[in-house]
Amino acid sequence: MESSHAVIVAIRFIYIFLSFLNNVQCHNSDEHNLDNLLCKQCGNTIASTHDIRSFSSKLAIKHWNQTLLNIPNVLVQLFENPHKMRFNVITLSNANVYMHEQVYNTDTWFPNYSWSMSVCSKCGTHLGWKYQPTNFNHITHYKNETFFGLILDKLLEEHLSDTLLLVPNSYKS
Ligand SMILES: [Zn+2]
């Protein structure tokens, strides 16, 4: 009888230990998931904390720092386009977006940089712009000289994503 009791105790111990491990793993993955910026329209992952990088412009109407993805002091700049539309823009070294091929040199918010439209790679929503040095080419320039300006209001921090209204794919026609 004693040996069967010992087996039960051992099984319980293993069960508790495995539950503990499982909780630890869940906790870690939750923490990892807090690091992303999502497309507010469809929930697609657009960027992570390590993509955020400050590129300041003197052409910003206004600029300030705010906490984003638990990073304090992320630079946000307010820009206005020729149609008088205003955008709160954050800058990033990389982003999961689709870039239009057409590159423009005029009406740029970053002097000496050209821009092209960037849209969500999943739903096609306009999310911002890619910037590259004017006359950029892959021989005289490095990829890290390019950056993205994304519209803050079109993005959602993943830890706030329970406010996102997602329609399951199976419901879409
Ligand atoms: Zn999207």
Tens of pLDDT along the chain (173 residues) come to: 556 677 666 667 666 555 555 544 444 444 444 589 999 999 999 999 999 999 999 999 999 999 999 899 999 999 999 999 999 999 999 999 999 999 999 999 999 999 999 999 999 999 999 999 998 777 777 777 899 999 999 999 998 887 555 555 555 54
CA 120 to chain CA centroid, nearest Å? 11
CA of 103 to the centre of ligand 1 (A): 22
CA of 99 to the centre of ligand 1 (A): 14
pTM over 0.85: no
Q: Rounded to the nearest whole angstrom, what is the distance from the C-alpha of residue 38 to the centroid of ligand 1?
A: 8
What pLDDT is stored for residue 93 in this prediction? Answer: 96
Instruction: Indicate the burial class of 115 (C-beta count within 10 angstroms; 0-12, 13-18, 19 or more).
Output: buried
Q: What is the pLDDT of residue 150?
A: 98
Q: State the distance from the centre of ligand 1 to the C-alpha of 71, rounded, in angstroms.
A: 23
pLDDT score, position 11: 62
Residue 30's pLDDT is 44
Look up residue 135 and give its amino acid. N
Q: Using CB atoms within 10 A of its CB, is residue 143 exposed (0-12), middle (13-18) or buried (19+)?
A: exposed
Dihedral in degrees, nearest 10, Cα atoms 97, 89, 79, 130: -30
Is residue 164 within 8 A of residue 38, CB to CB? The reply is: yes
Distance 129 CA to ligand 1 centre (A): 15
| Structure confidence at residue 35 (pLDDT) | 84
Say how many Å lie between the CA of residue 19 and the centre of ligand 1.
Answer: 36
- Do 74 and 68 touch, CB atoms closer than 8 A? yes
Question: How far away, in angstroms, is 35 Cα from ligand 1 center?
Answer: 17
Residues, the chain, total? 173
Res 137: pLDDT = 76
Instruction: Name the CATH topology of 39-160.
Output: 2.170.150
Given this model, what pLDDT does residue 39 score? 98
- Per-residue confidence (pLDDT) for residue 94, from 0 to 100: 95
Whole-number Å distance, alpha carbon 21 to ligand 1 midpoint, is 35
Q: Ligand 1 centre from 165 Cα, in Å? A: 12
Tell me the residues surrounding ligand 1 (ion) with CB < 5 Å.
39, 41-42, 44, 120, 122-123, 125
Residue 51, C-beta contacts closer than 8 angstroms, at least 6 positions apart: 92, 93, 94, 95
pLDDT of residue 24: 47
How does strand 71-80 pair with strand 36-39? unpaired
